[in-house]
Structure 1
Amino acid sequence: MSDSSKRPIPSDAGAFITLEEMNELTSNHDAEFAAQKSLGQHVKAMCFGRDKVIELLDQPGAVALRIYYGIKIDTDGDGIKEKKMVLVAVDEEGNDILPPSQEEAKAAAAQGIQSKELSAKILDAGIPCPTYCTGGKGGKS
């Protein structure tokens, strides 16, 4: 990650856009990635529940969310790679609020160490569109 100490993250980062702007952006994305057959069905969006998003933002020090794009390599033998979006909380200095690795957590627990990082969360497993979308403006298939 770059030197974020020079660019603090405000809790109001981002901007609301019009429906027309959204449709243009999503149409551009669809046109760009629809031909990538190796990724299986084109995923237009991911939906995350309110409770999970609030839980992520309720972590100590969180002022924003960062969304990472990812691909889950075929693990069930169907030949399809899954597009993923992974959400993490971000502090005001732009640092991801991340839990320790499993190995680090075991070592900390063995030493009786407790910190906010031990309970940090990473959100995945959003519901993909298409299949789970209403066909509204953003969910047109």
Structure 2
Amino acid sequence: MSDFPKRPIPSDTGAFISLDEMTTLTKNHDDDHVNQKSFGTHVKAMCFGKDKIIELLDQPGATALRIYYGIKIDTDGDGIKEKKMILVAVDEHGNDILPSETPASGPEGIVAKGAMALILDSGMPCPEYCSKPKKPGDPD
């Protein structure tokens, strides 16, 4: 059991950062995972569509979004474990909004909310689907 007290989760949780801060943070991550890059398995980010994000956050009681990191064990025989980011809606009390068929024994704070609750996965990975660097003369 966690020693951390339960606290309300405001709908404006988070902070916007500068491009410089983003660049520093992502470079630190890439540098820390340089060995994975040599095998072609380094995932820098995942991209999820606006419609799916809105659908996830439009669930009753949703005030925030939580992103879990996961790994899909090699299921296609290529020897590569697939990095995943799993998105779930969160209520104002910090509880994940999950389908009712979710087992009661899960990470601290996870509770079932209803049979139709959504869990989002299958984002498009970067570097395969990344922003292209701007070149001088490219339109804004």
TM-score range, shorter chain: 0.7 to 0.9
For structure 2, the 5+ residue unaligned runs are 105-111, 135-140
Give the length in aligned residue pairs: 127
Residue 74 of structure 1 contacts residue 80 of structure 1 at CA under 8 Å; is this kept in 2?
yes
For structure 1, the 5+ residue unaligned runs are 105-114
TM-score (norm 2): 0.81
Deviation at 1:136, TM superposition (A): 3.8
Query: Which of residues 106, 123, 126 in structure 2 aligns to 1:129?
Result: 126
**Alignment partner of 2:131: what SS?**
coil
Q: Which residue of 2 aligns with 1:64?
A: 64
Normalized per residue, which structure has more helix?
1
Deviation at 1:98, TM superposition (A): 0.3
Q: How many percent identity over aligned positions?
A: 72
Q: Distance in 1 between matches of 2:21 and 2:103?
A: 45
Considering Cα pairs closer than 8 Å and 6+ residues apart, tell me whether 1 or 2 has the greater RCO: 1
Deviation at 1:35, TM superposition (A): 1.1
Q: Which residue of 2 aligns with 1:83?
A: 83
TM-score (norm 1): 0.80
When the two chains are superposed, the root-mean-square deviation of aligned CA atoms in Å is: 2.5
Q: What is the letter of the counterpart of residue 129 of structure 2?
A: Y
Q: Distance in 1 between matches of 2:27 and 2:121?
A: 24
Deviation at 1:2, TM superposition (A): 4.0
Q: What is the letter of the counterpart of residue 15 of structure 1?
A: A
Deviation at 1:46, TM superposition (A): 0.1
Q: 1:3 to 1:91 in 2, by over 3 A?
A: farther
Q: Which residue of 1 aligns with 2:108?
A: none
Q: 1:5 to 1:103 in 2, by over 3 A?
A: closer
Residue 4 of structure 1 contacts residue 94 of structure 1 at CA under 8 Å; is this kept in 2?
no
Q: 1:63 to 1:78 in 2, by over 3 A?
A: same
